[in-house]
Amino acid sequence: MDHKRKTKRVTFFEKWFLNNRFSIILFNLLLFFLIIWMFNKISFVLNPAWAFFNAILPPILLAVIQYYIMNPVVDWLEKKWRVPRTVTIVVLFILVVVALIWIINTIIPIVQGQINSLVKNWPRIWNDAVNSTQEALRDPRLHSVRGNLDKMISNAQRTLFKSGQDAFNNTLSSISSAVSIITMIAMTLITAPVILFFMLKDGHQLRPYIAQFAPQRWQASFSKLLYDINYALASYIRGQITVAFWVGIMFTIGYSIIGLPYGYALAILAGLLNLIPYFGTMIAIIPVIVIGIMTSFSMLVKILVVFSIEQLIETRLISPYVMGNKLELHPITTILLLIGASAVWGLWGVIFGIPIYAVLKIIVSRVYNYYRQVSEVYDDEKEDPTTGNDTSDDHTVKQTD
């Protein structure tokens, strides 16, 4: 009887549809795109939900970012010194308010004056840089490349002019919605601290609360999934903000030492742009180099020295210590994500593309590992081809580790 069962003939349907990985993948893709098509057809039903989501998203995002910055302090004081969470939260809020008042009264006026001066003088600085470049190109030894460089400069000027004109037109077209934007900003600033307070106070209870809605046999693995997602987001947000902060500090010190014009504004710009992995610092150094060229050759050399020292400290000390490789993303993957996300969602894609990908990677990998364990499609991997013994338990242990 067992021999007949083992020698049972496999039908065409079982071979190519039930037990064929490629067919199963195609079928799941078909279902996935079918669901997207159905949601697209009933989008009018989801529009109110989407409007509601857009309204609550800004304060939640602001609160989440602040939560990942402040929560380690609250947890540490509670575990180390038994300080009540509410007391620590109130003290942190007071410190933040004091810091904001100090920044508004001291740093912002200086930076605002430098930004206004830089915006006012930038056309002249750019024109001087173009004229100096064209003057240098009159050297007979550069005659062969002169035409190409002139064309590149002309294209850059047209692109900058068009970008400025488009930005001006967009600003004019959005004046009608200025009231709604101001209202959104005001509501975000009012509601975000309230959301942040309760997240810091009760956030550690959120994961067990969500996990209890899963089936009993899945609660442990679902809780671990939530933990991994929270850990990935916390690592990325804290790491990026910490590195950006120290990059801004280093450039502020360096530009102050060499006496770079508009140094504070350019240092803050470098810190903010450093939130964009790989490309941020390179983008921020472009106006600095232009200003250095127009100031003096010695200033340009000093800028390059400051930039080299900053990159050495950031890449060798700060980034490895703060970031490490907690998201386990290859640099090529990160670069491709930034390019693709910026093309699809613009600035928001550049900022949120990597953490969203990290979350999706965790979810997909967990679902895939579970499917490998329970699906009969991977039964051939659970049997040792040399001994014929079932190794599904070993496979499960490896996946759990």
Task: Summarize pLDDT for 258-275 with one digit per residue, the tens.
Answer: 999 999 999 999 999 998
CB 310 within 8 A of CB 250: yes
Residue 74 has pLDDT above 90, yes or no: yes
CA 245 to CA 320: how far, in whole Å? 15
Give the per-residue pLDDT at 125: 82
Give the per-residue pLDDT at 154: 67
Please indicate, yes or no, if residue 301 is contained in any of the structural domains. Answer: no
CB 115 within 8 A of CB 265: yes
Share of the chain above pLDDT 70, in %: 77
Please indicate, yes or no, if residue 17 is contained in any of the structural domains. Answer: yes
Whether residues 95 and 74 fall in one domain: yes
Taking residues 1-27, what's their average pLDDT? 67
Whether residues 18 and 114 fall in one domain: no
Please indicate, yes or no, if residue 160 is contained in any of the structural domains. Answer: no
Whether residues 58 and 31 fall in one domain: no
Please indicate, yes or no, if residue 31 is contained in any of the structural domains. Answer: yes
Provide the sign of the torsion angle of the four alpha carbons 62, 65, 70, 76, taken in this order. Answer: positive
Domain end point (choices 189, 204, 219): 204
Taking residues 81-87, what's their average pLDDT? 94
State the total domains in the chain: 2
Whether residues 26 and 59 fall in one domain: no
Give the per-residue pLDDT at 309: 96
Per-residue pLDDT tens over the stretch 140-193: 655 555 566 666 666 666 665 555 555 545 544 544 455 677 778 888 999 999
Window from 67-76, 221-230, 296-305, 373-382 with minimum mean pLDDT: 373-382
Per-residue pLDDT tens over the stretch 107-120: 889 888 998 888 88
Whether residues 108 and 26 fall in one domain: no
Give the per-residue pLDDT at 77: 95
Give the per-residue pLDDT at 175: 46
> Binning pLDDT at 50, 70 and 90, where does residue 245 land?
very high
Give the per-residue pLDDT at 176: 46
Taking residues 300-312, what's their average pLDDT? 94
Residue 378 has pLDDT above 90, yes or no: no
Share of the chain above pLDDT 90, in %: 42
Taking residues 333-343, what's their average pLDDT? 88
Angle made by CA atoms 34, 35, 36, in degrees to the nearest 5: 90
pTM: 0.79
Give the per-residue pLDDT at 178: 53
Residue 49 has pLDDT above 80, yes or no: yes
Residue 347 has pLDDT above 90, yes or no: no
| Structure tokens given for 160 | 């900058």
Whether residues 35 and 56 fall in one domain: no
Q: Which domain holds residue 31?
A: 11-41
Whether residues 23 and 48 fall in one domain: no
Q: Please, what is the average pLDDT of the chain? A: 82
Taking residues 24-51, what's their average pLDDT? 85
> Binning pLDDT at 50, 70 and 90, where does residue 9 land?
confident
CA 246 to CA 272: how far, in whole Å? 11
| Distances from the Cα of 168 to the Cα of 81, 162, 178, 193, 275, angstroms | 55, 10, 15, 33, 26
Give the per-residue pLDDT at 392: 46
CA 34 to CA 40: how far, in whole Å? 10
Whether residues 51 and 200 fall in one domain: yes
> Binning pLDDT at 50, 70 and 90, where does residue 315 land?
confident
> Binning pLDDT at 50, 70 and 90, where does residue 13 land?
low
> Binning pLDDT at 50, 70 and 90, where does residue 329 land?
confident
Taking residues 38-46, what's their average pLDDT? 83
| Structure tokens given for 10 | 């496999």
Whether residues 30 and 122 fall in one domain: no
Please indicate, yes or no, if residue 55 is contained in any of the structural domains. Answer: yes
Residue type, 152: M
Whether residues 94 and 116 fall in one domain: yes
Phi, psi of 383 (to 5 degrees): -115, 125
Residue 388 has pLDDT above 50, yes or no: no
Residue that is written with structure tokens 């302090």 in the block: 73
Residue 66 has pLDDT above 90, yes or no: yes
Whether residues 37 and 103 fall in one domain: no
Please indicate, yes or no, if residue 263 is contained in any of the structural domains. Answer: no
Please indicate, yes or no, if residue 140 is contained in any of the structural domains. Answer: no
Give the per-residue pLDDT at 179: 60
Please indicate, yes or no, if residue 265 is contained in any of the structural domains. Answer: no
Per-residue pLDDT tens over the stretch 348-377: 888 889 999 999 999 999 988 888 887 766
Give the per-residue pLDDT at 387: 46
Residue 391 has pLDDT above 50, yes or no: no
Highest average pLDDT, of 248-257, 348-357, 383-392, comes from: 248-257
